[in-house]
Amino acid sequence: MQSIWRCLRGSGCHLSKSLICSGGKAESHLKHFLGNEFNLYGFKALSSNGISQSANSGANFLIRSMTTSINPETSDGQDTSPSTPEVVHPPWIKFKRLDKTARHIMNILDKEAVEQVRAEREIPAIEPGYIIQLKVEVPENKRRVSSLKGIVIATRNAGLNSTFRLRRLVAGVGVESVFPLYSPNIKEMKVLEKKKVRRAKLYYLRDRMNPLKK
């Protein structure tokens, strides 16, 4: 058992310790890899016939990746494993490349912001071809809520910055407006009708619905 520790310790991967601990339950560990924290106490449950299995499987799992606990910002809890009877390693936290970590964190922040807005307001699903009625609050106009009605000709999905393009006829002039989907100025959104379209972007309507074109 100690020889296994030494040969894997030499490779420098501090995760090997915890992987050996849970080597007996390797398959289930891999399935829950992305969801759970590592079980550092599995060492105690390792049986004698599980040692030979762990020698091979542990070596397969020398994965150079970051720890995937639920909350990645507190992922430096790896060095808080109390009950290892072996040599105490110096706390070495290994992270992914900084730009990958940052992108991951930005994705999580984005999702949280979207959920927060969705919890406050009911925002229906918007696809191109829907006819929509909006109630928009205009702060310059002394907080008057104006109602707009038009057809959605394009949507752009970008997390919190998702936008949709609305085309309508205003006083005889065609106007297209791009609205952020999660804007606090949009007070209410209602889908009136759904037209069948075979495109994601309906820019051909500019030629067809243009009252000013001669």
Partner 1 sequence: MIQPQTLLNVADNSGARELMCIRIIGAGNPRYAHIGDVIVAVIKEAVPNMPLERSEVIRAVIVRTCKELKRDNGIIIRYDDNAAVVIDQEGNPKGTRVFGAIPRELRQLNFTKIVSLAPEVL
**Contact predicate 8/59, CB 8 Å:** yes
Residue number, 55 or 117, with CB nearest to partner 1: 117
Residue number, 88 or 171, with CB nearest to partner 1: 171
Could you tell me the smallest distance in angstroms from the CB atom of residue 23 to partner 1?
Answer: 52
Could you tell me the smallest distance in angstroms from the CB atom of residue 188 to partner 1?
Answer: 16
Could you tell me the smallest distance in angstroms from the CB atom of residue 116 to partner 1?
Answer: 17
Q: Which two tokens stand for residue 36?
A: 């759970």
Residue number, 52 or 141, with CB nearest to partner 1: 141
Secondary structure class of 149 (helix, strand, coil)? strand
Could you tell me the smallest distance in angstroms from the CB atom of residue 213 to partner 1?
Answer: 8
**How many CA atoms, within 13 angstroms, populate the side-chain half-sphere of residue 214?**
0
**Contact predicate 206/165, CB 8 Å:** no
Residue number, 60 or 210, with CB nearest to partner 1: 210
Residue number, 85 or 172, with CB nearest to partner 1: 172
Residues at the interface with partner 1 (CB under 8 A): 138-141, 163, 170-180, 183, 185, 206, 210, 212
| Angle at 133 (CA atoms; ends 116, 126), nearest 5 degrees | 55
Structural Rg of the chain based on CA atoms: 28
For the chain, counts of helices (H) and of strands (E)? 6, 5
Q: How far apart are CA 168 and CA 192, in angstroms?
A: 14
Could you tell me the smallest distance in angstroms from the CB atom of residue 165 to partner 1?
Answer: 8
**Contact predicate 130/151, CB 8 Å:** yes
Q: How far apart are CA 99 and CA 72, in angstroms?
A: 14
Residue number, 127 or 176, with CB nearest to partner 1: 176
Could you tell me the smallest distance in angstroms from the CB atom of residue 161 to partner 1?
Answer: 8
Pairing status of strand 144-156 against strand 163-170: antiparallel
